A and B are shown apart, each in its own frame.
Chain A
Amino acid sequence: MEKHNKNLIRKENGGIICSHGDFWIDPARPVKRALITHAHFDHISFGCEEYICSPETSVLLKERIGKKIKVKSYGYDESFKINGIKISFYPSGHILGSSQIKLEGGNEKWLITGDFKRQRDETCLNYQEVKTDFLICESTFALPIFNWDSTNKIVNQIVEWVNKSPNMTSILFCYSLGKAQRLLNELKNKNIKNIYVHSNIKKINDIYIDQGINLEDFAKINPGIKPKDYQGSLLLMPPSQNKFNLLKRFGDYQTAFASGWMLIRALKNRSGYDKGFAISDHADWNGLIKTIKNSQAKKVFLDHGDGESLAKYLSIEENIEIESFKTKQ
């Protein structure tokens, strides 16, 4: 890696640094200036002096970190410069406001995909293909076993799962930011009795609705509701709530988790959910390969997750110059 990126970009301390421009991208600890791809907690660090991101991400950041942080935001069509480095944001299709970040400086062109998906998702702008010389690509699901079914198919399975058990409370765990809203959008007019959401999800829902995103009607879970009233309804809750003590108030219930990892039975069974729905906001195996090929990058680095196999596969089978950042694992 040193050969190519001496000038512009380096992976360091779990984040990406551009020393030349004196800024970081998704740093893992507080820094002076942080460019943020999206507002998931594993991509933001509290306590930075300045955050720079898309306008939607800036709203989410304020909700998550605090109203008083210093944030500068730029739309997808407005490039800007920091210390002579040209910076542009492109939609990555992961969640509301998620961006790929392109950097141009000296003779180098870099693209950091951040987390992305190529599947349909009406709660954010579609992923956009961008050409680059150097690509830093996420690789969360970088094995050929990961092939996503169509969103429609999974959503119909969720509806069937809920409606098949009218005497039970169906609790679907999902990440509060992104997945929950994507599900609510997909569940529009799907004929589920009632949908209740956890307060953490409600907070994010309100932001999405403010941004003009269309969500199915929902109510907040509250202690005034009797277990019987939850029967036949769907509850969306963050995975941290999956504790017997917190769930017993819902009467007879069944649980599920909405995540790409649920494709693997061992993972589903180990985490103790009744059912898994493999719906993901990341690219699957073929999605990753398509993005890498179409970027026409001369050199590719895989980041986030275990990219070793994908790197080996593409360098042998497709002759692509590629390597995997050492993972924390």
Chain B
Amino acid sequence: MSLNKFSKLFIDLDSNNSINKKIDLLINYFLSNSALNNSWTIFLLIGKSNKRFISGKLLREYYSKSYKLPMWLINTCYQKVGDSAEVISLLLSNKIILKKSKDISLDDLIKNKLPGLQKINEEEKIAKIKEYWEMIPKEDLLVFNKILTGTFRIGVSRGIVKKSLSKLANIDESIIEHRLMGEFVPSAKTYNFIVSRELDQKELGYKPYPFQLANTLDIPLKNLSVNEYQFEWKYDGIRGQIIKRSKNITIWTRGEELVNNSFPELVNLISLINEDFVIDGEILIWDSTKDCPREFGLLQKRLRRKSPSNKIQKDLPISFIIYDLLELNGKDIRKNILSERRDKLEKLYLTWKNKTSDPYFYKLRLTNLLKVFNWDDVENKKNDSRNFNTEGLVIKNKNSSYLPGRKKGNWWKYKVDPMQLDAVLIYAKAGSGKRADLYTDYSFALWKDKELTKFASAYSGLNNEEIKELDKWIRKNTIEKFGPVRSVKPFLVFEISFENIQFSTRHKSGIAVRFPRITKWRRDKKIYDADSIENAYKLMEKK
């Protein structure tokens, strides 16, 4: 049960790109370590520890103070490396002459020692951290710093951990996934529960089912029979499950966060219902006059509040759109086919509606099934989706069970074509993490009164070859450097796609776009062919 063992595992995992080898390494590790040790390992690897004992920036400042290295120089290193924890461990590699190296217990470190840092003043904290740095063996410092800064992502995905545990315990992956969901308190008991071959309903009681997800539609529609499918709007909110089992209500997001506190009105509403159930759906901010959802940004605003005031609840009213019924009165009905589940759901909803006198019951609504009779109707509905503030359609096979993950062929998302503008590259910024020291964050401009005005930033969409090529170009065509940002010669034109566009007072251009991304390097275009702000306004009007 030690930092050193975990650090060795970290180095081994980091030295193998093959997924199968990573899984083998993990299985061997789990087999040769204690249950408590293993539960901490899982806790760290799947990123349950979002807890940050110290920010990366503070860590750099503490190093600067402890070892008298100027902050600007540490920050230059940070730009090159992309991770504060790693920069500091590299800087420490020749600073420290170990007097007495000592291994630390992970359990003690995360449960007692590091939380203890919150209770002492800044000066004591700096001294304490320096003490750790000079006590922990050099090869373990990266892991230690990563735990400190809560940046434990090492290219071991949740999926790999899940697969290893499933292979090790010889139980289905979906059960492991189920057991890993929700709150995770590292202990021997937790680990033994995860790999236990006995299924215990009671312990699973508060946990959501793994979500079924839709694949991007990639087969020609005409090959499908319309009648076999159910068509719904694709909403852009927060996917969630509401679970009510013997009077206990939990609202989970797909990111496995428990959000009861953020949506008290929803909890109230559910508590009025008699039946036990699990429903799958989407949380949205709802515009009741237009009877359609409002933009995603408002929902984020609400989520940031841990307990929203009455005013916020009134100004940003939420709605839960029910997609599916997964469990009814303790019975898991995910194996039933969709049309049967929908049937049950509609009946259930009707019962609730007839019984309740709550004026806010409308906050709970069933997703509409769109009436389409042929594929032309489907196409038209999709193209109409912006009018309802949705992203397109979800197409579900009526004969399918509810399955975890993205199982091909059952659910498709059919999104409306993105809006696009051709824009000019004007700024570039080095990325972080994997993309450290590579210019991968770009800002783009449109023409406004014969000047280029910044309108969006994007970093995804180019392939590795293009990123490298662009990085080279940026270095050669830099006009000015401002810290990590470079302004570049306006010369290159890119097609930028985005999901939505709206007026904004916060942006100089007066517009804000959602999910901007590069969809094409327009090598065929000169900067004078790029779009103007007026074209952006036109897109807004068309919406």
Contacts and interface: CB of A to CB of B under 8 A. Distances in A.
Contacts of B87: 145
B434 A270 contact: yes
Contacts of B405: none
Nearest to A316: B70
Contact of A275 (B15, B433, B435, B438): B15
Given A143-B80, A266-B437, 13 more contacts: A144-B69, A146-B90, A147-B94, A265-B14, A265-B86, A266-B433, A266-B434, A266-B436, A267-B437, A272-B17, A275-B15, A328-B475, A329-B475
A264 B81 CA distance: 6
Interface string B88-122: 00110110000000000000000000000000000
Nearest to B69: A144
Nearest to A313: B73
B90 A147 contact: yes
B16 interface: yes
Contacts of A329: 475-476
B154 to A, nearest CB: 9
A274 interface: yes
A147 B86 CA distance: 13
21 contacts: A143-B73, A143-B76, A144-B77, A146-B90, A147-B93, A254-B16, A264-B436, A265-B81, A265-B86, A266-B433, A266-B434, A266-B435, A267-B436, A267-B437, A270-B434, A270-B435, A270-B438, A273-B17, A275-B16, A312-B72, A328-B475
A240 to B, nearest CB: 15
A320 interface: no
Contacts of A274: 15-18
A263 B90 contact: yes
A194 interface: no
A145 B16 contact: no
Interface in A225-280: 254, 263-267, 269-270, 272-275
B82 interface: yes
B480 to A, nearest CB: 14
A316 B71 CA distance: 13
Nearest to A284: B94
A270 B432 CA distance: 12
Contacts of A79: none
Nearest to B81: A264
A73 interface: no
Interface residues on A, range: 20 to 34
Contacts of B18: 274
B77 A266 contact: no
A298 to B, nearest CB: 24
Contacts of B475: 328-329
A200 interface: no
A152 to B, nearest CB: 16
A309 interface: yes
Contact of B70 (A161, A275, A313): A313
Interface string A112-132: 000000000000000000000
B73 A144 contact: yes
A274 B436 CA distance: 18
Interface of A: 143-147, 149, 161, 254, 263-267, 269-270, 272-275, 286, 309, 312-313, 316-317, 328-329
B483 interface: no
B83 interface: yes
Contacts of A273: 17
B155 interface: yes
Given A264-B436, A266-B436, A145 B15 contact: no
A143 B86 CA distance: 14
A144 B91 contact: yes
A146 B81 CA distance: 11
B58 to A, nearest CB: 19
Contacts of A263: 90
B328 to A, nearest CB: 47
Interface string B136-169: 0000000000000000000100000000000000
Contact of B81 (A145, A254, A270): A145
Nearest to B138: A149
Contacts of A144: 69, 73, 77, 91
Contacts of B86: 264-265
Contacts of B14: 265
B17 A145 contact: no
Contacts of B76: 143, 309
A266 B82 CA distance: 8
A161 to B, nearest CB: 8
10 tightest Cβ-Cβ pairs between the two chains A and B: A147-B94, A145-B90, A266-B436, A275-B15, A329-B475, A145-B77, A309-B76, A147-B93, A266-B82, A274-B17
Nearest to A273: B17
A329 B16 CA distance: 32
Contacts of B77: 143-145
Contacts of A254: 16
Contacts of A147: 90, 93-94
Contacts of A269: 155, 434
A68 to B, nearest CB: 35
A266 B70 CA distance: 24
Nearest to B475: A329
A147 to B, nearest CB: 4
A146 B434 CA distance: 18
B56 to A, nearest CB: 15
Interface in B488-527: none
Contacts of B90: 145-147, 263-264
